[in-house]
Amino acid sequence: MPYLVLGVPARNEASTVARMGDSLEQGAALVGEMAVTELVLAYQTSEDETLAQWRDRTHRIRQRVLECEPGATGKGRNVKLIARHCVEHEADLLLVDADLRHYEPSNVARFVSVAYRNNLDFVLPLWSRQWGHANSTNYLASPLLHALYGARVRQPLAGQMFIGHSLLQALNIDALPDDYGIDIALTMSALDGGRRIGQIPLPGVSHTERRSNSEAIMRDVAAAMLTRVSKAPRSDRSDVTWPEQYWQELQWPSDLEPSMNETDEAGRLPGRTAPDTRGPSADDSVAQTAWCAELAGAVRAVEQGASVNAAVENLVEPFFAHASTRRSQVRPDLADAEAYVHALGDELAQALG
């Protein structure tokens, strides 16, 4: 019988971590005889009661806490602890971020059943985030994956993914990023490795928003992607695609919040003044083309040996200018919002030739 680790990376997640643990244990019960399950917390020293909240729960299945060395930070370090544990025990992994405020236990069984039934190495969710959130996913990671690989991967930064034990054993875990770039690095490893990849619609989620993390997320994701571009040739993974019109199974989340994941309420990067792109000429098509040109230029630069750090630095302002323009629009239908991400990937692929 397969051995399945339900892995939760956490630092300063006292408000959500216990509820997440309870939801995953309920999900483990739904897995039933598909796998033997273990719940693993990868913990970094926190300024709150994350560890106490976790340990004070009533445990229903096998538990384990893996602790990073004192003072260590970065999501990637936690994820790598869990990955090494899975390799040691020849386990599959369902990785779920601790900051999800609500998690349906049925998601666990859906991931596992789809993966096992279809012999998949890597499974990602399809879901919608609030309008104006997830800009690093929508305008950087998803379209750039299409431009580089020909793949349609909608939620590579979802903070929830299934990774089979054979893929985990093939990874160079030490070389993976220690920061927010870990999710996209794992996705690119699956693409480069020719692994079987699936995507399944799931109910929408609500993350704990940390406005101060917005620039860090964008920088880490861009650095992870451009680093891989600089070191490895592109693979053709046009076989990876999302289900046709998958958005018909989704809807905009109802718990809309005033804050944004990537920009503040004014649509500007906190601590910076983004260029004013809201004038008459700053419609979506102009902003889209300008952002694609900047991103394509960064890819070409690192392919020719330019510094990844310099390329990322040059992308920060254009990224938030484009996100600000999108944020200023009236919220579109979900189908139109998804079509924009699709079109952005097409234009970026064309720009890269």
Q: What is the pLDDT of residues 79-105, one digit of tens each?
A: 999 999 999 999 999 999 998 878 899
Rounded to two decimals, the pTM is 0.91
Q: How many CB atoms lie within 10 A of CB 292?
A: 26
How high is the pLDDT of residue 277?
37
Give domain 3-270's CATH number out of 1.10.540.10, 3.90.550.10, 3.10.20.30, 3.40.50.1010. 3.90.550.10
How high is the pLDDT of residue 207?
58
The CA-based diameter of the chain, rounded to the nearest angstrom, is 61
How high is the pLDDT of residue 273?
39
Which residues of the chain fall short of a pLDDT of 50?
256-282
How high is the pLDDT of residue 285?
84
**Which of left, alpha, beta for 271 (phi over 0: left; psi -120 to 50: alpha)?**
left
Cα 287 from Cα 146, distance rounded (Å):
19
Ranges of each domain in the chain: 3-270
pLDDT tens digits, residue range 108-132?
999 999 999 999 999 999 998 888 8
Q: Which residues of 225-263 are buried (b: 16+ CB within 10 A; e: fewer)?
A: bbbbbbeeebeebeebbbeeebbeebeebeeeeeebbbb
How high is the pLDDT of residue 130?
86
